[in-house]
A and B are shown apart, each in its own frame.
Chain A
């Protein structure tokens, strides 16, 4: 069964550092998403991406966040200057006929 693949599974970074989370969506899917889940809280929408541009973003997705599809397979989320409160699970998802989530990257900012 097709999967959404995320790397790394766990990333530890120092406050103020840039971090890039990587995702390989399902190959024939057209819509791509990032969600995050702070420990013990709800899964929250960050951004959706279609046709090489952002189609919707939440108020969480401020100027320190960016997304990119640098080639035909990868979809990345960059956080420019990480803060302690960015510590969370980050889930990538893609959709076409189905909506599939990856297994997540646990980001820990110290």
Chain B
């Protein structure tokens, strides 16, 4: 699976959009970009994933560049409860094909009042 690079920490004001970048310059054509978050030592929580098109769900939006070498997770209106470590993970295949997730250090997002 391709390696990802994320900033170690970011701050965001409550109510503003949080934009979390991820570089994955060695991504292959069949690799998906997944985002998870971990709130204070709880189990990682799935947020969103995509292959090449931008994706949106009730939690976030995922913007993937045309060359697929980087992506941005957008939390449109960050709340204090969004304070967490956010992980960008690149892996081959969909969940129902099994396979491990390789976690990096992630980005520690602090949402401040």
Using CB atoms and an 8 Å cutoff, list the residues of chain A in contact with chain B: 4, 30-31, 33, 35, 37, 42-45, 48, 50, 55-56, 58, 89, 91, 93, 95-104
A-B contacts at CB below 8 angstroms, number? 57
B102 touches A45 (CB 8 A): yes
B44 with A91: CB separation less than 8 A: yes
Nearest-neighbor residue (CB-CB) of A89 within chain B: B41
Prevailing SS type, chain A contact patch? strand
Q: Check B100 against A48 for contact (C-beta < 8 Å).
A: yes
CB distance from A99 to the nearest CB of B (A): 5
Provide the residues of chain B in CB contact with A98, threshold 8 Å: 46, 95
B residues in contact (CB < 8 Å) with A: 38, 41-46, 87, 94-96, 98-105
B41 near A99 with CB under 8 A, answer no
Assembled-state Cα–Cα distance A89/B42 (Å): 9
- Chain B's interface: helix, strand, loop or mixed, by majority? loop
* B19 to A: closest C-beta gap in Å: 23
Known pairs A89-B41, A91-B43, A103-B42; A97 contacts B99 (CB<8 A): no
Q: With a CB–CB cut-off of 8 A, which chain A residues contact B102?
A: 45
Partner of B38, one of A43, A58, A99, A102: A43
Closest A residue, CB atoms, query B87: A43
- The docked-state distance in angstroms from the alpha carbon of A30 to that of B95 is 10
| A101: B residues at CB distance < 8 A | 43-45
Chain B's nearest CB lies how many Å from the CB of A5? 11
Contact A31 B98 (CB under 8 A): yes
Check if A104 sits within 8 Å of B43, measured CB to CB.
yes
Task: Report Cα–Cα, A96/B46, bound state, in Å.
Answer: 13
What is the distance, in angstroms, from B33's C-beta to the closest C-beta of chain A?
14
Contact of A100 among B38, B46, B96, B103 (CB under 8 A): B46
